Chains A and B, each alone.
Chain A
Amino acid sequence: MTDHTANLFSIATGSSEPIYRQLVEQVRRLAAAGQLKPGDGMPSVREIASSLALNPMTVSKAYSLLEMDGVLARRRGLGMVVANFAPARPADRVELLRPALERAALEARQLELEPDTVLTLFETILKEAK
């Protein structure tokens, strides 16, 4: 079991996605991919707020949502830990990509690109990163 630090997170200002949403999605993705394991300790609200210079209420909001969704759990004396969730099936994991792909799809439509052209490019990008 690992105790994670606020380095886990990176946030982007100037996005149309509010910061609390970015935090929630990052934890979901990391948990789905197994980088966060059940029982792992999460950094405290205070630590994240201070390290990323964020309003603590924003961080609390993200943690509460993740707790409600069963991704994180509050342990007395330990703070937040990663919950004992069933690892996401690939079919659920791919859903996590939807918001990013929807944005890309919008831009592809604005550029009036054919679906095949876009898919080929995406395939190339996926292979490059390996």
Chain B
Amino acid sequence: MNAPLVQMSSVTKHFGARQVLDRLDWQVAPGQVIGLLGRNGAGKSTLLECMLGLREVDGGTVSMFGEDAAALSDGARARIGYVPQKSDLFDWLTPLQMLEYFEAMYPRWNKGKVEGLLSRWGFDPYKRNSPIKKLSGGEQQRLSIIRALAHDPDLLILDEPVSALDPVGRRDFLRELVDQVIERGTTVVFSTHILSDLERVAFDLAFLKDGRIALQGQLDALLEGARRVVAAPHALPAGRLQGELRRSYEGALTSVIVQADYEQLAQLAGKPGVRIETLSLEDLFIEMTREG
């Protein structure tokens, strides 16, 4: 594998007494398209902000393009696109004024792309010249995405990029991501709760839980390998199962989530009182981020 674009080592972050990131290790390799999953309040935005050097970390190191994230060079900064969860920056400007302002900061600004996206995503002359704060939440989010894509970034970081978009807007955004961004080999990290979108475009998944990346892997492999084994406790072998991710007790039954080891599953499947179920991404999300 190539040297990682982003390298986070033992990153710790507190807000007051609350620990949000706990000695978190994470790497993002060039060309990866990673979905970042976690419950509300798990710290996904904090993680992305620390990654971008927008927040100081209490411990550990973050590097991007081989540079310290807290002191990125202009060259490295120009290679990053970022869509924050909520952008209220420059909302007194009109879309055209805001884009002009950013154009001056980026050597690689793609005017044709900006124009194309503005017209395809419903920015008529009236909207282009209205103050951003007068636009709807969805329009503001689309504008924020256009700004992040305008300089053809090598690394695109999206924090809940579609939360305010309707299904049509989400599909338009996904198409743009597939046709223009992923096709160019851009590295993409995005957090979202809309698992159907994630399933379409993410190749890798990372689960954030208790301040760490609790599980990471290829989406396909995670889905194909994940099983829920439900059985009376005496029907299961003593100790942990191979690839065991979590175990819970529901009444008289034990439920174990495993990354499948086929031999073991075949053995278990033959036993009376053992039920083996496949999991959807939503099941996996719920199981991997559940408390306790």
Chain A residues close to B by CB (< 8 Å):
13-21, 46, 49-50, 52-58, 61, 106, 110
Asked if residues A55 and B175 are in contact (CB atoms below 8 Å), the reply is no
Give 22 A-B contacts (CB < 8 Å), ordered by A residue. A13-B200, A16-B279, A16-B280, A17-B223, A18-B220, A18-B224, A46-B183, A50-B175, A50-B178, A52-B200, A53-B171, A53-B178, A53-B200, A53-B201, A55-B201, A55-B202, A55-B203, A56-B178, A56-B182, A57-B33, A57-B182, A110-B275
Measured in the bound complex, the distance between the Cα atoms of B171 and A79 in whole Å is 27
Q: Is B72 part of the binding interface, using a Cβ–Cβ cutoff of 8 Å?
A: no
Q: How large is the interface on B (under 10, 10 to 19, 20 to 34, 35 or more residues)?
A: 20 to 34
Measured in the bound complex, the distance between the Cα atoms of B223 and A11 in whole Å is 15
| B248 / chain A contacts, CB cutoff of 8 Å | none
Query: Known pairs A106-B277, A110-B275. 10 more at Cβ < 8 A?
Result: A16-B280, A18-B223, A19-B220, A21-B224, A52-B200, A53-B200, A55-B178, A57-B182, A58-B203, A61-B220
Known: A53-B171, A54-B200, A55-B203. A13 touches B195 (CB 8 A): yes
Chain B residues numbered 189-216 whose CB sits less than 8 Å from any CB in chain A: 195-196, 199-203
Query: Which single residue of chain A is at the shortest CB-CB distance from B177?
Result: A53
Asked if residues B171 and A14 are in contact (CB atoms below 8 Å), the reply is no
Asked if residues A13 and B199 are in contact (CB atoms below 8 Å), the reply is yes
Asked if residues A13 and B175 are in contact (CB atoms below 8 Å), the reply is no
Asked if residues A56 and B278 are in contact (CB atoms below 8 Å), the reply is no
Contact of B196 among A14, A17, A18, A52 (CB under 8 A): A14
Measured in the bound complex, the distance between the Cα atoms of B195 and A20 in whole Å is 16
Asked if residues A56 and B220 are in contact (CB atoms below 8 Å), the reply is no
Known: A13-B200, A14-B281. A54 touches B220 (CB 8 A): no
- Tell me how far the C-beta of B187 lies from the nearest C-beta in chain A, rounded to whole angstroms: 13
| B291 / chain A contacts, CB cutoff of 8 Å | none
Closest CB pairs A-B (n = 8)? A16-B278, A13-B196, A53-B174, A18-B220, A13-B199, A18-B223, A16-B280, A55-B201
Measured in the bound complex, the distance between the Cα atoms of B278 and A21 in whole Å is 14
- Tell me how far the C-beta of A45 lies from the nearest C-beta in chain B, rounded to whole angstroms: 10
Q: Is B5 part of the binding interface, using a Cβ–Cβ cutoff of 8 Å?
A: no
Query: Which of A14, A53, A58, A61 has its CB near the most chain B CB atoms (within 10 A)?
Result: A53
Known: A13-B196, A16-B278. A54 touches B178 (CB 8 A): yes
Asked if residues A55 and B280 are in contact (CB atoms below 8 Å), the reply is no
- Tell me how far the C-beta of B104 lies from the nearest C-beta in chain A, rounded to whole angstroms: 32
| A14 / chain B contacts, CB cutoff of 8 Å | 195-196, 199, 280-282
| A19 / chain B contacts, CB cutoff of 8 Å | 199-200, 220
